[in-house]
Structure 1
Amino acid sequence: MLNGVDTDFIVMIIWGAIFLIFVLKLFQSIRLVPTKSAYIVERLGKYHNTLDAGFHALVPFIDKVAYIHDLKEETIDVPPQECFSSDEVNVEVDGVIYISVVDPVKASYGITDYRYAAIQLAQTTTRSVIGTLDLDRTFEERDIISAKVVEVLDEAGAIWGIRVHRYEIKNITPPETVKNAMEMQVNAERERRALLAKSEGDKQSKINRSEGFMAETINLSEGEMQRRINEAEGKAEEILTLAKATAESIERLAVVISKPGGHSALRLQLGEQYFKQLEGLSDADNRVVLPANLINFEQWMTTMGLEDEFKAKK
């Protein structure tokens, strides 16, 4: 009797285990695929289909999700590696790859691990490209290196079911001795540029000063020339005015003399001026040549060249 109870209990345990396994497999056959994900389903070990985002039910014990792929773009770090440039300088290069799965089936069955393969291919391509460049160009032409790596990875990605969006070099680290030499070169170049900039500044300063002095000299000469022109024009105007005034006074004097009594008035005026001049001789410091007989007015008129006019007045 005890043996029968034990047997029934064991059978119940077995059936319970089978039921639990069946329920577990039933739940496992229900799949909720999130957005931007792809599930690769195998039926009896063979590829069956690809599950996109949404609700899916599988056949228990027959269908199995073999691979799960994230279709979003992902970044993969490329570890540092040593590369030799064309001038035999050893540099350490690392980078980052931006890739995404575009064909989940090829990514599952086209290669064992596409991430590892992409890293290895990026490293080998980077080494080959840097080997064609000298050290200075490796720092200047990172875009060429990145473009070449992307090109090679795209060719392989068509088979692997992935797409390489871009590859960026993070660091190019030369040896410490080369780095020190490059820093010295950069400092020397910076000092050269500073000296050149200073000399250019001094040159421009001297040019500006000379141009300023030249402009000042020109302005002064033009001002002096204009001043002399103005003075000459003023003197000419003054002479012209005096000539006109003298001519008018002579004409008026001639008119007055031609009138009756004009000669007498002229003689009277000349005599008045004559005696005024005699009064000022005592105060004069300069030597003056005078006729011997100052009282003889007619002789003085003859000496002054006014004899004819004096006689005419008489």
Structure 2
Amino acid sequence: MPFIVFLVVVIVLISTTIRIVSEACAMVVERLGRFHTVWRPGIHFLIPFADRIAKRINLKEQVADFPPQPVITKDNVTMRIDSVVFFVITDPKLYAYGVENPIAAIENLTATTLRNIIGSMDLDTTLTSRDEINTQMRSLLDVATDPWGIKVNRVELKNILPPEAIREAMEKQMKAEREKREAITLAEGKKEAAIQTAQGNKEAAILNAEADKKKTILAAEAQKEKEIQEAEGRAQAILNVQRAEAEGIRLLKEAGADDAVLRIRSLEAFVKVSEGKATKIIIPSDIQNMAGLLSSLKETLVSPSTPVTDSDSGNSSTPAAESSSTSDAPKEVNGNEEA
């Protein structure tokens, strides 16, 4: 029986002596009422009746969400701001002995720091400078909590709540601003559409003018080409006529044509000239002398058995007489009379 009691006492002593510290935790140990050491994660032995665990500390990053705090801006607008502080304990000894209630100390320090920062800003700056406020608060809180073994990693402003009247005025202002931007956007859209339409009309007019110009140039070139072709055709026709006449003259020469044939050809040319619209024709003396030749040809062609009337004899003798009495000067006759 005494052995069993001794065994129980030993087991109780061992259970109260051995301590296991979990990961991300620490224990502040006091010996005889004074700070002795900090136990880190692992197994540790506690001396009974001499050592005491003064504080168990969580080394994880912690979040402290504080209720909204009333603050006053530079332009005397009272608003409520609630903040969130992210911190981690870096020194368990300072955390255990630095301040009585670290969380409450951080809350009060956050409220006073926030009032100091917001008091130097007006309402509009406060609403648009969250990042700047967060940075300033984190820097100030980190310096202030360093003696407590606490490192402030981040500070965030969760809500900024201005008074109801201010919120309504801001909403009206925002609505008016949006309506203004809408009107400006519509006006700019109409202006841009008008500019684009005018630009399109201008480009269309330019293209039409260029097309008309090209069409005129092409028509002029076509007309020019046509006139050139026609001129070349007329030149070729004239050349062909001249060649034919030259060939005819050559053939006449080769055939041994006498002066009578040449005079007949001249008379044919005179007949063609008399078919025009001229009312008067100047007849050279050589053409007048051909009248006798024509009379001789007529008498030769008429048969001897055919009686000759007075009119015929008069008509036939007249040219001869005229030819014999006419001088070498040119004679002006009516173009409508027969030659």
Compared CA separation, residues 22 and 94, structure 1 to 2 (3 A): farther
Q: TM-score scaled to structure 2, two decimals? A: 0.73
- Partners of 2:13 and 2:127 lie apart in 1 by 57
Gap change, CA 1:137 and 1:251, over 3 Å in 2? same
* 1:178 aligned onto 2:143: no
Q: Choose which of 270, 276, 286 in structure 2 pairs with 1:301.
A: 276
The equivalences for 1:133-172 within 5 A come to 133-172=121-160
**Mapping 1:74-85, distance limit 5 Å:** 74-85=62-73
Gap runs ≥5 in structure 1: 1-11, 272-295
Q: Which amino acid aligns with 1:211?
A: Q
Q: Please give the alpha-carbon distance, in whole angstroms, between the structure 2 residues aligned to 1:220 and 1:97.
A: 73
2:103 paired with 1:115: yes
Deviation track 1:24-50 (CA, whole Å, cap 9, x = no partner) reads 554232211000111000001100000
SS in 1 for 2:88: strand
2:68 partner SS: strand
CA shift for structure 1 position 21: 8.3
Q: In structure 2, the residue corresponding to 1:218 is in which secondary structure?
A: helix
1:242 counterpart residue number? 230
Amino acid at match of 2:207: N
Corresponding residue of 2:331? none
| Structure 2 gap ranges (5+) | 253-260, 291-339
Q: Report the secondary structure of 2:166's partner residue.
A: helix
Matches within 5 A, 1:225-264: 225-260=213-248
How high is the sequence identity, in percent, across the aligned residues?
A: 32
Q: 1:307 to 1:219 in 2, by over 3 A?
A: farther
Deviation at residue 64 of structure 1 after TM alignment = 0.5
Q: Distance in 2 between matches of 1:304 and 1:163?
A: 133
- 1:48 aligns to 2:36 (yes or no): yes
| RMSD after superposition | 2.9
Aligned mates of 2:47, 2:8 — CA distance in 1: 16
After superposition, give the CA deviation of every residue in 1:173-199 in whole Å (9 maximum; x if it has no partner).
001000000000000010011001000
Quick check: which has more Rg, 1 or 2? 2
Question: Residues of 1 paired with 2:39 and 2:117: CA distance?
Answer: 40
Q: CA deviation at 1:101?
A: 0.3
| More deviation, 92-101/23-32 | 23-32
Q: Measure the CA separation in 2 of the matches of 1:49 and 1:304.
A: 152
3-state DSSP of counterpart to 1:152? helix
* Change over 3 Å in CA distance of 1:199–1:298 after alignment to 2: closer
Distance 2:79 2:9 in 1: 58
For the 8 Å contact 1:32–1:53, the answer to whether it is kept is yes
Matched, 1:187 2:175: yes
174, 186, 211: which one pairs with 2:199? 211
Residue 97 of structure 1 deviates from its aligned partner by: 0.4
Aligned residue for 1:286?
none
Q: Closer, same or farther in 2 for the Cα pair 1:199/1:164, shift >3 Å?
A: same
**Number of residue pairs matched?**
267
**Aligned to 1:83, what secondary structure does the other structure show?**
strand
Distance 1:123 1:193 in 2: 39
Q: Deviations over 1:85-124 (max 9, x none)?
A: 1111111000110000000000011111211111111111
Pick closer, same or farther for the CA change 1:185–1:19 going to 2, 3 Å.
farther
Maintained 8 Å contact 1:82/1:92: yes
What's 1:9 paired with? none
Partner of 2:53, secondary structure, is: strand
Structure 1 position 247, deviation (Å): 0.9
Matched position secondary structure for 2:87: strand
Inter-partner Cα distance in structure 1 for 2:279 and 2:129: 107
Aligned pair partner of 2:60 in 72, 77, 80: 72
